[in-house]
Amino acid sequence: MPWRNTSIMDEKYFFINEYRSGIWTITDLCKGFQISRTLGYKYINRFELYGMEGLADLSRKPHSSPKKTPKRIEDTILAFRRKHPRYGPEKIIVKLPEKFPNNH
């Protein structure tokens, strides 16, 4: 296939349109687009479930962060940091429990 000046999203649409034409096998289609069959099936499954909107990139952000610092502690640290902008992380770790002994 000749070089095309297109976006990734355009290529995904073109891939699905070629798939829907029924002319190509999945193997040949994926070879032509230089993608793995796994990725080709991923695009096809997303298209079949969600339509063309399903081809958009999904967020990779985790659904939850179990080890995330609680908001009240985060706010305390940030307030302390604003009050003492020259303190580095080591000094903050030492000084914060002295100032706020109940915030663990």
Q: Which pLDDT tens digits describe the chain residue by residue (104 residues)?
A: 555 677 888 899 999 999 999 999 999 999 999 999 999 999 999 999 999 888 888 788 888 888 888 898 899 889 999 999 999 999 988 988 888 777 55
Task: For the full predicted model, state whether its pTM sits above 0.75.
Answer: no
Render pLDDT for 71-96 as a digit per residue (tens, 0 to 9): 988 998 899 999 999 999 999 889 88
How many residues in the chain? 104
Q: Where are the chain's structural domains?
A: 8-55, 67-104
Long-range contacts from 29-35, C-beta under 8 angstroms, 24+ separation: 32/1, 33/1
